[in-house]
Amino acid sequence: MKTAVYTMCLFLVTGLVNGQQPKIQWEKTIGGTSSDYLYNAVGTPDDGFLLVGSSTSAATGDKTKANQGGLDYFIWKMDAAGHQEWQQSFGGDQDDYLTAVSLTNDGGYLLAGSSFSTISGDKTSDKLGEEDLWLIKLDTAGYPQWQKTIGGSGVEQAVGILPLASGGFLISADTNSAISGTKQSESFGAMDYWVVQLDPQGNIQWEQSYGGLGDDHIKALFPSPRGYVFIGESYSPASGNKTTDSHQQGSLWLVEIDFEGNILHQAEFLADGPSNYVDLKAEEDGWLLSATTWQNTKKSLELLHLNSDFSVTNRQSIEIPVNLRPTTLMSQSDGLWLFANQAGFSQGKGDSFSRPSSRYLVSWLSHQGDVRWQEVLKNEGFTYMSKAFTTRDGGIVLMGNSNQTTTANRGLEDFYLVKLAPTTADEKRQAVEIYPIPTRDYINVLINEPFTQASVELFDLHGRKLKSQTLCNRLTPVDVSGFPSGVYLLVTHYDHHNHSLKIIKK
């Protein structure tokens, strides 16, 4: 069965263009008085974003909910200006690591992480092995709707979530479990890639392991015309269902599967030294793969342009400083945005020794690798960027962790974000927007203006009113799953305004 990938939001993001040096729009430190670790984030259609990570903090500083165990899931919804809209925390009696998040087609969110907890605190299902995947579905306001624990008798560690048009999800993870628990695919080595397809309620539709005899760690998962593409770092020889050999110090293993999880083809990208994944981006005729490699004492950023069958059509090597640790690459027609951590050592006031330091770095490179400009965010302490992502207004958010002392530090380790302002004017938006079009079950209504009261009405093309619903938030899902396929009129009323939009129900 073919399963289409759901494009959660089709709104245009203009981005930073022409290598113009952006200005910092705002920066934000979030956390309690202990340690809070930011692992991932997703932009939201209302111009804000959802931050996800884990926290050991009690209800202190910015955190309002008591800690349940060791590390708890910690979720923070913020608006475009970086202000809190709501927060949530979930945990059991042990450590719970929240590492992945996705928008859902009903305007909510799916969280995926790894849990050591038994039934306790907020966790309602028992552990299956040493470390399991713990999934929690939230509505648009952050309230839990359901949760699932999946895995085998060993270790499962969540990496990413890909939403599907069916309302289901594809989960990517690492696993070392044999056939046990909810895992029914065999284990090939020390650690395998694991891909799991779920229906909208979190039930497993199929799952499959991919790997060889050694360690294989999945890094990212993407849609492709024929199914899905995933990439990771491999230390396995040709064995298991892996047909290519890796470098003894690690190489990049790229795999394409069909919509049922069957391998279509695979490729290994080797260097003369160890290779570490940076980014993979879809291009019009294939993929742009970026990675760092070592040769003797030199470090390079490798850019590989691949066709749809993973053959290299162009390869470029850019020598970079050995203390540079790239996290995200964004390619444009006239150059490359490189986001990285600059490692080093610093000596604070009164210290008789140097401490490790790390700072966010933004660079604009030509396609030949020449640095046109770069900016280091100079803060005392250790700030480590996990990734950079674009926002709907065309800006970019740099997200990670910090123990620095030059901003409003909350505890031992905090969430740390920097928003770069867009360098082009934000295009004017419609007062009311709806997505997805077409839809199968939910239509999400987004009101882009302040309001005190709002509602929607659904009509068929004969003018018969089929449904009405009050809107309490800027973004609200409207359930249309009970209506037959066809074209409908959705009328949004807020304060003294009325907006009519057509929707297509599959």
List the chain domain ranges. Answer: 211-298, 432-505
| pLDDT score recorded for residue 430 | 87
Q: What is the mean pLDDT of residues 49-67?
A: 94
pLDDT in tens, 395-427: 899 999 988 765 567 778 899 999 998 876 666
pLDDT confidence of 47, banded at 50, 70, 90? Answer: confident
pLDDT in tens, 115-163: 999 999 999 999 999 999 999 999 999 999 999 999 999 999 999 999 9
| pLDDT score recorded for residue 8 | 36
Q: Which of 61-65, 112-116, 143-147, 247-251 has the lowest mean pLDDT?
A: 247-251
In contact, 100 and 111? CB cutoff 8 Å? yes
Residue 12 pLDDT > 60, yes or no?
A: no
Residue 17 pLDDT > 80, yes or no?
A: no
| pLDDT score recorded for residue 333 | 78
pLDDT in tens, 457-477: 999 998 999 999 999 888 889
pLDDT in tens, 89-113: 999 999 999 999 999 988 999 999 9
Q: What is the mean pLDDT of residues 316-330?
A: 91
496 Cβ neighbours under 8 A, 6+ residues apart: none
Strand bridging mode 251-257 / 383-390: unpaired
**Which tokens is 290 given?**
């970026």
More confident residue, 98 or 450: 98
Cα–Cα distance for residue pair 254/286, rounded to 1 Å: 13
Q: What is the mean pLDDT of residues 284-308?
A: 91
Strands ordered across the beta sheet of 312-320: 275-283, 286-295, 298-306, 312-320
Q: What is the mean pLDDT of residues 218-242?
A: 95
Backbone angles phi, psi at 80, to 5 degrees: -65, -25
| pLDDT score recorded for residue 352 | 61
Q: For the domain bounded by 432-505, which CATH number is listed?
A: 2.60.40.1930
Convert 385-413 to b/e letters by CB count within 10 Å (16 or more is b).
bbbbbbbbbbbbbbbbbbbbeebebbbeb
> Mean pLDDT across the chain, nearest whole number?
89
Convert 47-74 to b/e letters by CB count within 10 Å (16 or more is b).
bbbbbbbbbbbeeebbbebebbbbbbbb
How large a percentage of the chain has pLDDT more than 90? 65
| pLDDT score recorded for residue 9 | 36
Radius of gyration from C-alpha coordinates of the chain: 23
For every residue of 284-341, DSSP letters joined together read TTEEEEEEEEEETTEEEEEEEEE-TT--EEEEEEEEE-TTEEEEEEEEETTEEEEEEE
Cα–Cα distance for residue pair 283/395, rounded to 1 Å: 21
| pLDDT score recorded for residue 393 | 80
Cα→Cα distances 270→17, 415, 419, Å: 33, 35, 36
Q: What is the mean pLDDT of residues 270-279?
A: 84
| pLDDT score recorded for residue 394 | 82
Residue 26: CB atoms within 10 Å: 15
Backbone angles phi, psi at 13, to 5 degrees: -115, 120
pLDDT confidence of 249, banded at 50, 70, 90? Answer: confident
Q: Is the peptide bond between 436 and the residue preceding it cis, with omega within 30 degrees of 0?
A: yes
Residue 260 pLDDT > 90, yes or no?
A: yes
**CA angle centred on 397, ends 394 and 398, rounded to 5°:** 145
Report H helices in 82-238: none
* Residue 392 DSSP code: T
pLDDT confidence of 332, banded at 50, 70, 90? Answer: confident
Residue 299 pLDDT > 80, yes or no?
A: yes
| pLDDT score recorded for residue 16 | 52
Cα within 13 Å of Cα(210), Cβ side? 30
Q: What is the mean pLDDT of residues 13-38?
A: 78
In contact, 276 and 247? CB cutoff 8 Å? no
| pLDDT score recorded for residue 376 | 87
Strands ordered across the beta sheet of 442-447: 432-435, 442-447, 475-479
474 Cβ neighbours under 8 A, 6+ residues apart: 46, 446, 447, 448
In contact, 209 and 193? CB cutoff 8 Å? yes
Residue 381 pLDDT > 80, yes or no?
A: no
* Cα pseudo-dihedral 24, 30, 36, 41, rounded to 10: -60
Residue 2 pLDDT > 50, yes or no?
A: no
| pLDDT score recorded for residue 425 | 62
**CA angle centred on 370, ends 365 and 371, rounded to 5°:** 55
**Which tokens is 177 given?**
């479990």
Whose structure tokens read 């899905």?
Answer: 228
pLDDT in tens, 432-447: 999 888 888 889 999 9
| pLDDT score recorded for residue 108 | 94
| pLDDT score recorded for residue 5 | 45
Q: Which amino acid, residue 462?
A: H
Is 89 exposed, middle or buried, given 0-12, 13-18 or 19+ CB atoms closer than 10 A? buried
- Residues counted in the chain: 506
Cα–Cα distance for residue pair 192/253, rounded to 1 Å: 12
| pLDDT score recorded for residue 400 | 93
